[in-house]
């Protein structure tokens, strides 16, 4: 086989359409902006509908194409509506980034395993696990029809090095990896890749308090790259996993934490 050296395309997601859940804030917002910079049209789907529309407006004001939608991913009907609206607006769906989760904007209990409120355990799995099942059920048929697609799920590096708290959150993020592998095998036949990103502790809060900054700094000493992690540190990997360059990569989990967990 001969290798051809070709110049890198300037925009790796040119004319691709991507749905980014949880794109109104934090890391999802960084994905939305970077995807547009790479040439994509984006659907920002968030339980905070106003926040989603605000990010979409910022993108449109800068000349990009985006729509913002209020979607609670734990409701199948809303996920189906999200996919329909994306199709009506942009005519295709190339990528789905399952970034929304109960994490920092919607606070969670940090207590021992036996002190987690049962309703909170259930809601965690309803959003973080069932939610991505619902978004995939809604979007995959459109990808199958075109025999092309990219799905990126979001787990967490805490699955591999647990801090010893938030057992419901970490269990839900471990489930995301099993979900990713199984779905990758089931729909690979349609040329759809399914991968996962596992971020390390990331300063994703919009107006972080000193306490939050100190909390994020605590991981720094354990990393090969010894600095705070920011949302932009994750965006390039999400672009890659939605681009043509990752066409033969599926069922994988990429830990992005500055070289803290090494497996």
Ligand X SMILES: NC(=O)c1ccc[n+]([C@@H]2O[C@H](COP(=O)([O-])OP(=O)(O)OC[C@H]3O[C@@H](n4cnc5c(N)ncnc54)[C@H](O)[C@@H]3O)[C@@H](O)[C@H]2O)c1
Minimum distance from CB of 146 to ligand X (Å)? 25
The reply to whether 154 sits near ligand X by the rule CB under 6 A is yes
Please report how close the Cβ of residue 75 comes to ligand X at its closest, in angstroms: 8
Of the candidate residues 135, 138, 156, 243, the single one contacting ligand X (CB under 6 A): 156
Total length of the chain: 263
Contacts of 234 (CB under 8 A, 6+ apart): 27, 30, 31, 197, 199, 202, 256
- Number of shown-chain residues binding ligand X (CB under 6 A): 30
Active-site choice (134, 169, 215, 230): 169
**Secondary structure element (H or E) that encloses residue 217, with its range:** helix 210-217
Cα distances from 226 to residues 197, 211, 221, in angstroms, run 20, 19, 6
Q: What is the 3-state secondary structure (H, E, C) of 11-72?
A: CCCCCCEEEEECCCCHHHHHHHHHHHHCCCEEEEEECCHHHHHHHHHHHHHCCCCEEEEECC
Least separation in angstroms between residue 56's CB and ligand X is 13
Stretch that binds ligand X, among 9-17, 144-152, 159-167, 196-204 (CB under 6 A): 196-204
Judge contact between 98 and 132, C-beta under 8 A.
Answer: yes
State yes or no: residue 254 binds ligand X (CB under 6 A): no
Provide CB contacts within 8 A for 139, sequence distance 6+: 19, 79, 83, 86, 93, 96, 149, 151
What is the x/- site pattern for ligand X, positions 75-104, by CB under 6 A? Answer: ------------------------xxxxxx
- Residue 47 engages ligand X in binding (rule: CB under 6 A): yes
Any contact of residue 31 with ligand X (CB under 6 A)?
no
Annotated active-site residue 31? The verdict is: no
For residue 44, give the DSSP letter: E
Q: Which stretch binds ligand X (CB under 6 A): 35-43, 110-118, 135-143, 199-207?
A: 199-207
Q: Give the residue ranges of DSSP H helices in 76-130.
A: 76-90, 118-125
Listed ranges 6-14, 46-54, 87-95, 242-250: which one lies at the site for ligand X (CB under 6 A): 46-54
The residue (of 195 and 201) whose beta carbon lies closer to ligand X is: 201
Positions that interact with ligand X (CB under 6 A): 21-22, 24-28, 46-48, 71-74, 99-106, 127, 131, 154, 156, 199, 201-202, 204
């Amino acid at each position: 086989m001969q290798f051809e050296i070709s110049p890198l395309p300037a925009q790796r997601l040119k004319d691709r359409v991507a749905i980014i859940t949880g794109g109104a804030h934090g890391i999802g917002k960084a994905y939305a902006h970077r995807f547009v910079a790479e040439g994509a049209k984006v659907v920002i789907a968030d339980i905070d509908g106003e926040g989603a529309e605000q990010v979409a407006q910022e993108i449109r004001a800068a000349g990009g194409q985006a729509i913002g939608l209020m979607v609670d991913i734990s409701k199948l009907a809303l996920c189906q509506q999200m996919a329909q609206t994306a199709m009506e607006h942009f005519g295709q769906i190339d990528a789905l980034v399952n970034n929304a989760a109960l994490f920092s904007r919607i606070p969670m209990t940090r207590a021992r395993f036996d002190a987690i409120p049962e309703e909170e355990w259930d809601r965690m799995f309803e959003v973080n696990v069932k939610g991505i099942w619902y978004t995939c059920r809604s979007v995959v048929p459109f990808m199958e029809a075109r025999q092309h697609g990219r799905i990126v799920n979001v787990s967490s590096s805490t699955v591999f090095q647990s801090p010893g708290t938030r057992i419901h959150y970490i269990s839900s993020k471990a489930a995301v990896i099993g979900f990713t592998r199984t779905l990758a095998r089931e729909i690979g036949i349609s040329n759809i890749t399914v991968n996962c990103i596992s971020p390390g502790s990331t300063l994703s809060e919009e107006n972080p308090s000193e306490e939050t900054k100190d909390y994020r700094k605590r991981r720094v000493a354990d990393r090969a790259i010894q600095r705070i992690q920011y949302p932009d540190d994750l965006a390039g990997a999400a672009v890659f996993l939605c681009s043509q360059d990752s066409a033969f990569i599926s069922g994988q989990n990429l830990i992005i934490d500055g070289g803290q967990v090494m497996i």
